Amino acid sequence: MKNFSTVIILLFIAFPTTAWAKALSVPFTPQAPDGIWMDPWEDACEEATIAMVDAFYAQKLITKDYAKNMIRRIIRLEMNLLGFHKDTNADQIVSTINNYFPWEARVVTNPTIEQIKAEIDAGQPMIVPVHGRSLKNPYFRNGGPDYHTIVIAGYDDGKKEFIVEEPGTRRGLDFRYPYDRIMNAMHDFLPRGRTRFGKPVAIFTQNRAVESRALDGDRDGLSKMMELLYGSILWLSDSDGDGLGDGDEVRTGLSPTKK
């Protein structure tokens, strides 16, 4: 019996499973937190994927109410920034993130499996635009949407699968898709049902603002870098609600976060 245990222990040392699989604990929400697959939730995959990555970097849990509020807020921000909120492509998702969130995103064209795995190893989840139907998810209604977005949160080299937060179904927590299926489904949005011909792109993220630090998404005269420094809100021009804008308060020596 003693020898048997030794063999088991040696097997674990020889084949450490940790080298095969790695997943970041990205909090999950379906894009329809109440299970009501109607407007605006039906089209809220982009907003849900942004909310999930944001909660990961902020180390927050996602409750149903939190998810609904956050998705609604992102829709409002997209309306302000872009003038619409349905079917936002990779550049538009990046723009929304970089203008209104403390972390940062960028579009990577034709990413390889190795690049995606390296991002996971670096602790950085990705938002990936896909042709929804090519995912062949059995839980999707009517075969799934033409355009869809998911979060890649991990990989399993043993099974050749990505571990994904899949907002398109309530069963989407740590959902698994084969590497090949994700790579084949990866396409940026194209209008009139032509997403399957879109460019293969992924949205890489990092938990700091470098390229985006001069942006002023809420147009209050205070850049992203300065808002992060003062602790004011990136998507609200009057963070403390005292009637004075964040930028005006800083310029006149007042605090943008205290009335």
Q: Which residues bind Ca ion (CB under 5 A)?
A: 216, 218, 220, 222, 232, 238, 240, 242, 244, 246
| Least Å from the CB of residue 100 to Ca ion | 9
Residue pair 81/108 in contact by the 8 Å Cβ criterion: no
| Least Å from the CB of residue 220 to Ca ion | 4
| Least Å from the CB of residue 90 to Ca ion | 24
Residue 186 carries which DSSP code? B
Burial (0-12, 13-18, 19+ Cβ within 10 Å), 39? exposed
Q: Which is nearer to Ca ion, 168 or 256 (CB)?
A: 256
One-letter amino acid at 195 equals T
| Least Å from the CB of residue 119 to Ca ion | 28
Q: Which is nearer to Ca ion, 89 or 212 (CB)?
A: 212
Angle separating helix axes 90-100 and 64-82, nearest 10 degrees: 100
Q: How far apart, in whole angstroms, are the C-alpha atoms of residue 84 and residue 117?
A: 33
Q: Which is nearer to Ca ion, 45 or 244 (CB)?
A: 244
| Least Å from the CB of residue 160 to Ca ion | 44
One-letter amino acid at 16 equals P
Helix (H) or strand (E) segment spanning residue 11: helix 2-14
Beta carbons within 8 Å of 199's beta carbon, 6+ residues apart:
109, 110, 187, 188
Q: Which is nearer to Ca ion, 150 or 244 (CB)?
A: 244
Helix (H) or strand (E) segment spanning residue 158: none
Q: Which is nearer to Ca ion, 167 or 247 (CB)?
A: 247
Q: Which is nearer to Ca ion, 188 or 216 (CB)?
A: 216
- Select from 113, 125, 124 the least CA-distant residue to 149: 125
| Least Å from the CB of residue 235 to Ca ion | 7
b/e per residue, 152-185, with b = 16+ CB within 10 A? bbbbbeeeebbbbbbbbbeebbebebebebbbeb
Residue pair 95/60 in contact by the 8 Å Cβ criterion: no
State both tokens at 90: 């990779």
| Least Å from the CB of residue 81 to Ca ion | 12
Q: Which is nearer to Ca ion, 124 or 232 (CB)?
A: 232
